Structure 1
Amino acid sequence: MPKSTGPSPQELRKIEKDRRRKQYEDIQVQGTNNSSIVSKRSVEMIYQSVCPPGEWFKHFVPKGKRRSPAINRGYWIRMESIRSMIIRIMESEPQKPVNVINLGCGYDPLPFQMLSMGHNMTFYDIDYPDLVKNKHDMILKSKEIQDLVGPDAGGLGLMNCDKYKLIGCDLKNHEVYKDQMKKLKPGVNIFIAEVSLAYMHFTDANKIIGYSSEVPNSHFLILEQILPAGTKEAFATKMLNHFSKLRSSLKCVEEYPLIEHQISRFQQYYKHVEVKNLFENWNDLIDETTKQKVDEVESFDEWEEFILFCQHYVVLHATNDSLVYKQPNVSLQSRPVVELNIKPDTKSLDLKYPASCVVGGSIYVNGGLGQTRSIKTYKDSEELETLDPPSGRMCHTFTDGILVGGRTQPGSFLKDVYRFNAKEAKWSRLEDLPVGVSRHSAVSVDTERILIIGGQSQKGSMILYNHKTQTSKLLQCSSEIDFSTIASFGCDFDVDQQVGYIIGGQTNKQSPRFSNKLFKFWLENDEFKHKMVMEDAEFERMDCKLVKYNETLVVVGGINYNQILGQDNIIVKVSVCGKKVVYGRIPDRVWKNHSPLMIGHNVVIHDNQIKVLNGGVVCYSFGSVYNPSYSIDW
């Protein structure tokens, strides 16, 4: 008998196993649409003053669920970036008809939003056949959408209306995709891939980009993740693990982790490429009036989390025609680098924005945010039973045993002051401040007085508080920067030399704006005096901490306005006399195994070492990351 030339039973089993695996992966990728669309619906429900008119997500998400303020704002800037870029491209070629081809459209109602606003465009929604079948069924149940798009002429996909087409196509089936592109109307063609190509192998994704570039008047807008500080940076690790657990790994970001990689990728197919991360889009695409409206939508005090998220997502525009971004990207200079002697400590507390100080040779930590705002006090990382503790709070200060202010929910500022008796483990409430403060700094200027500078409050303040007499004195300061309102800055004071330093900080809450300056300050007859020492892009941080250590200044952590803080520059040293900045490199063994996320953290000097304590953030919708504690010799 002739031998069989077909696959063996073992090969057939492998073929079937591969088919099921690919089918399962496709289902998981489609599942990412469900989470995304619910979050976008949350934005639509509460951001109505700064969203397109109408409620279009409700047709695809019957029961809305409110997301956190940081997630809401993150999804808003995602959607607004895409909308704004489409409009800019359209305005750059006003005489031509426009086609918008949404690759991996999911249940996104972008076409209905923009058509309802009167934009003269034709939309092509493309996604997996099963998914667009579900979308088609939902559209058929909505009279509002059907009235908007008009009658279905048939002959193209599941819907073929004059201004709206719905097409089922697995984008890995390149020949089918090429065939669909031949059916586009003449005009400007704007291809959108909002994280949809990110789940494909880069070779498959690049074929889609290549075929799209061959279409006349082609523009490609892609929103994808990047890894600006590598895979071991805490946010990146959390993000990658999140998608991996969902069985929808981010395959393209592994090949194109940096902005320059994405630029090179698209330059294979397009003549012109421009790219900005989402925080740059927030600054460049969104005008101040709109930012004011966004700020009024809901209480918001999560700038660090928002910026950190934005710095891991980019919008890239590639075209053979004209570019549309108006602001150039910021270029940053290189620095000398010295490897740090840094060691992770064995004990850490999962707390964000607590307050810490050294009393009697021990490190005390109070409050902060865990699952809720804490009232607990810790001594050397061990919980301590105390009498009459302050109420739960975060973003407060604890200076030489004196606790000041903080907040409960965003905008609810506290003005109470407490003295902590370490020997008796007892808290005593002192006279209140004139105003509540949060995200301020407080430094001892002598054994009786604390200078409380800036922060968020109902009105700006600089207060000299005498905790012996329990009296407050409001100080005045005239400066290009209003020190009474600057928040989340680095600050330290040398009592022996009677000189302090202020670095960075948030100078405008709404926009926001950060200071890039280092100031020297002192008190003269109880009047605040200051002098600018230098300015540098590395200082343009909020929530950084500053300590004077061995006659130099050390800046620890925070969020930088222009760049992600990574292995080389999350900690920097500043020579005040030489006006020189040196990077402190985290050794590989620490970075890879105990990657720092120095946000919402505290810094104290203890046993002649810099101790970095606590801290952490919620990484968008991926979950929380807490900062390990470290000891640094420099």
Structure 2
Amino acid sequence: MEEAFKINQKSSKLRNDSAVQGTNDSSVLSKISAAQLGYCKDDYLAHFASKKARRSPLVNRGYYIRAKLIDYVIKEFLHQVSEGHSQIINLGAGFDSTFFRLKDLSLLANTFFIEIDFPDVINRKINLIKNNPILNEFCSDLETVKEINGNKVYQSLKSNLLLIGIDLRNSELLEAILKSIPQFNENLPTFLLSEVVMTYMSVKSCNGLIKWISETFTNCVLTVYEQINPFDPFGEVMCSHFNKLGSPLRCILKYPFEDDQKKRYKNEGFSDVFSIKASEFYQYCTSDKEKKRIDDIELFDEYEPWHLKCSHYILLSATKGNFCSEFIRNLYTNSKPKIDTNKHLNLIKFDSSHINYKPYPIKFGSRFGHSLCSLGSKLFIYGGFGELATDPFCKHLRLASVEEFNLEQMNLNVLELPVNSLGDRIFQDCTTTGENSMVVTLGRSNPSKMFESIVRVNYLENNIQTESINIKIPRFRHAVCSIPNSGLFIYGGKYYDETTNTSRILNDAYVLDESNNLKKVFVDENIITARHSMCINLWNNFLIVSGGLDENENPLSDLILISIETYEYRKISLNKVGGANFEQNPPGICFVDLKKFVAYEFDVPNENRLMLVCHQSHLIDKNNLLIVGGGAVCFTFGTHLNKQPSILDISKCWSEISQN
């Protein structure tokens, strides 16, 4: 029985190791996809794959930011050591092409480059190099120089390259092999890289490796790129994905957040630890010109999942020795922005204890990027991406249906509309314009197919009438608000230009009256910047525009007050409000007192897997906020949909506000 248990343990370990090695093959194809489209330059990676794959724009961006982050640190290291000798050790290198790229750039003249991975992976890589004339030209003298218990060591003296086939969990054997190589020197400035590698190791094995590195090298930087934040909906989908692959993220639950990771490396012997989230790097360290270049490569309209993905990955550098600590400290310090404390609006934050969550008893609205409006006690949910309420197979698709939910009678009805009257729109708007009427405006189907039309819907019992009007201002992710006695105010959004195959962010505004006359109105571009994905509401005689993304994909942190009488503009600054942002904690519910110029933000309990992204909300009464829909495509990991509406009891929030 004991022997059988040991065999099962061994076979389980082998399955896990094989699954981890399999992530290398998938990752290589994704990197190739990004490189071939021009996101990043890599002329060598394609030689390590027998096939090619075109990944989605979201995945291409994800691998772009991964490559940029690692290059950001490794090239700075090489710049700092350019006048002396150094070492680079790529832990779990897989089919990574970093050596060939850097060699081609003449950056490795005095650098001893070491790659380490499972024996099977290294053996496959050696065969690929030897059988490819372009790769082999760099290291034609590559040969086996050592073999211990099946762990082969290959070396090219010509290129100063060493490849070691070994399990990283065996640090004692790894140390013995390294110290047997004459070119290896633990006292040289050494850059060690773990690119989504150590996260697959057990906590004990991983910490053992980290400790071995801190004790072995006197002047080093260990740079790690891996996942964080496992407890929110995106993080849960991410962890579930790797569990299904058989390669679970073994350390993330023990060290879930950025600060936990930094303390970990300190505890294992490193002098200083610095980190930056991928989201921070893209926002603060990527030029506007580079962002524009990336945006022009291919159509992209997955901003919320992009921000979520980037907020779940960090680049961390742990250092030993004065030389490495100093330049890494400067590198990371310069990458973080100075916080602007000169806000015009005072923000007071509260924890999630003030909000009570309860699921709504009826399931509907399982979608995101949709619109919602109310007529009396009825809610109408239209468009977006998600699941049909009547589909037993829960197939994901763009939706052309309208779900009608009666809040009083608690029943759901899927409306039968005239064929093709609305279309399968996403990121459109739906606004109530009368007792029995609403207007659906613009939106898109795919990012290159925009709608130029509005559809007026008159709703009477058992009689639905629709009228489509082409207003010829195509856009999506815009904002619409009904102005009494004037019509619909339509502002901003995103536009795709088929002639140039590029998109642009709009900063224009129109008023559409009841007779479908469209009038362009003044926009003060000195006060309000072009944006999309914002909100707009009516308050007294003002339209209030809040949030959104600017043309450089930065989350906007302002409120714009627009007079509906004079179209004068006023700007009020505050912290991020709503949707997806670059912070560790997702935004909560923000109450803004425009008379006192005070904002109160309350965290939302996240143990209920509620993703407050691309959702819609409806205030049932002063104390109860209904959340309908919401969710996102979670990178390559799957899709999260809020399966049923939720009610957030905000009565305690009002009590707290009244006391301030």
The two structures have a TM-score, normalised by structure 1, of 0.87
- Separation in 1, partners of 2:237, 2:105: 38
Residue 25 (structure 1) shift: 1.8
Does 1:239 find its partner at 2:238?
yes
1:57 counterpart residue number: 45
- Tell me the number of residue pairs that the alignment of Structure 1 and Structure 2 aligns: 586
Shift of 1:585: 4.1
> Could you tell me whether the CA contact under 8 Å between 1:358 and 1:606 is conserved in 2?
no
Alpha-carbon distance in structure 2 between the residues aligned to 1:437 and 1:354: 15
- Structure 2: how far apart are the matches of 1:447 and 1:603? 25
2:225 to 223, 248, 253: 223
* 422, 443, 446: which one aligns with 2:459: 422
User: Is the contact between residue 509 and residue 520 of structure 2 (CA under 8 Å) also seen in structure 1?
Assistant: yes
Task: Rate the CA distance shift 1:217–1:180 in 2: closer, same or farther, 3 A.
Answer: farther
Give me the whole-angstrom Cα distance separating, in 2, the residues matched to 1:291 and 1:180: 44
1:528 equivalent in structure 2: 567
Query: How far apart, CA to CA, are the structure 2 residues paired with 1:83 and 1:277?
Result: 15
Distance apart, 1:114 and its partner CA: 2.0
CA 473–225 in structure 1, closer or farther in 2 if over 3 Å, else same? same
Deviation at 1:196, TM superposition (A): 0.5
Within the candidate set 606, 614, 619, 2:634 is matched to: 619
State the distance in 2 between where 1:74 and 1:53 align.
16
TM alignment of 1:292-303, pairs within 5 A: 292-303=292-303
Provide the secondary structure at the position in 2 that maps to 1:107. coil
Distance 2:205 2:77 in 1: 26
Equivalents in 2 of 1:57, 1:203: separation in Å?
Answer: 33
TM-score (norm 2): 0.84
Corresponding residue number in structure 1 for 2:523: 477
Instruction: Provide the aligned C-alpha RMSD in A.
Output: 2.3
Distance in 2 (CA, whole Å) between partners of 1:460 and 1:617 is 26
- Check 1:188–1:481 CA distance in 2 against 1; reply closer, same or farther (3 A cut): farther
Q: Is the 8 A contact 2:349 2:602 kept in 1?
A: no
Deviation, 1:200, is 0.8
Residue in structure 2 matched with residue 600 of structure 1 by the alignment? 614
SS in 1 for 2:476: coil
Q: Deviations over 1:12-71 (max 9, x none)?
A: 233222222222221222122222222112112212xx42252x2222222111111111
- Pairing of 1:177-576 with structure 2 (within 5 A): 177-182=174-179, 183=181, 185-186=184-185, 187-213=188-214, 214-227=216-229, 231=231, 233-268=232-267, 269-320=269-320, 321=324, 322=326, 323=328, 324-325=331-332, 326-328=334-336, 335-337=349-351, 339-345=354-360, 346-370=362-386, 371-380=396-405, 381-388=412-419, 389-400=421-432, 401-423=438-460, 426-446=464-484, 449-457=487-495, 459-466=506-513, 468-482=514-528, 485-494=530-539, 497-508=540-551, 511-524=552-565, 527-533=566-572, 535-539=573-577, 544=578, 558-565=579-586, 569-576=587-594
Structure 2 residues not aligned, in runs of 5+: 147-151, 342-346, 387-395, 406-411, 433-437, 496-503, 651-660
Partner amino acid, structure 1, of 2:364: S
Q: Are the aligned partners of 1:84 and 1:285 in contact in 2 as well (CA < 8 Å)? A: no
Deviation at 1:606, TM superposition (A): 4.0
* Distance in 2 (alpha carbons) for counterparts of 1:481 and 1:626: 36
Moved more, 307-316 or 37-46: 37-46
Q: Which residue of 2 aligns with 1:21?
A: 12
The offset of 1:570, in angstroms, is: 2.3
Partner of 2:82: 94
Answer yes or no: is the 8 Å Cα contact 2:491–2:507 preserved in 1: no
3-state DSSP class of the match of 2:145? coil
The 1:480/1:318 distance shift into structure 2, 3 A limit, reads: farther
**2:365/2:381 contact within 8 Å kept:** no
Q: Secondary structure at the match of 2:422?
A: coil
Deviations 1:138-178 (A, max 9, x none): 22221110012332254254431123222101011111122
Q: In structure 2, do the counterparts of structure 1 residues 585 and 53 end up closer, same or farther at CA, with 3 Å as the change threshold? A: closer
| Alpha-carbon distance in structure 2 between the residues aligned to 1:329 and 1:211 | 34
Deviations 1:310-357, CA, capped at 9 Å, x for gaps: 101100011122212222367799723452243222313332201111
SS of equivalent to 2:252: helix
Identity of aligned residues (%): 24
| Partner residue of 1:171 out of 162, 168, 173 | 168
Q: Secondary structure at the match of 2:567?
A: strand
> Matched residues in 2 for 1:474 and 1:455: separation?
15
Question: Per-residue CA shift, 1:493-524, capped at 9, x if unaligned?
Answer: 14xx333322211122xx32222112333211
User: Runs of 5+ in structure 1 lacking a partner?
Assistant: 1-9, 545-557
Change (3 A) 1:285 1:479: closer
Counterpart amino acid of residue 511 in structure 2: L
- Please say if residues 96 and 188 of structure 1, whose CA atoms lie closer than 8 Å, have aligned partners that are also in contact: no
- Residue type of the partner of 1:137? N
The answer to whether the 8 A contact 1:125-1:167 is kept is yes
In the alignment, is residue 142 of structure 1 matched against residue 183 of structure 2? no
* Matched residue type, 1:276: I
| Greater alpha carbon shift after TM alignment, 331-340 vs 169-178 | 331-340
- Equivalents in 2 of 1:32, 1:317: separation in Å? 23
Q: Distance in 1 between matches of 2:335 and 2:37?
A: 30
* Structure-2 change in CA distance of 1:581 and 1:563 (3 Å): farther
Query: Contact 1:481–1:507 (CA<8 Å) still a contact in 2?
Result: no
SS where residue 568 of structure 2 aligns? Answer: strand
Determine the C-alpha separation between the residues in 1 that align with 2:520 and 2:398: 29
Greater CA drift, 325-334 or 307-316:
325-334
Residue 152 of structure 1 pairs with residue 142 of structure 2: yes
Aligned partner letter, 2:520: L
What is the CA distance between 1:572 and its match in structure 2? Answer: 2.5
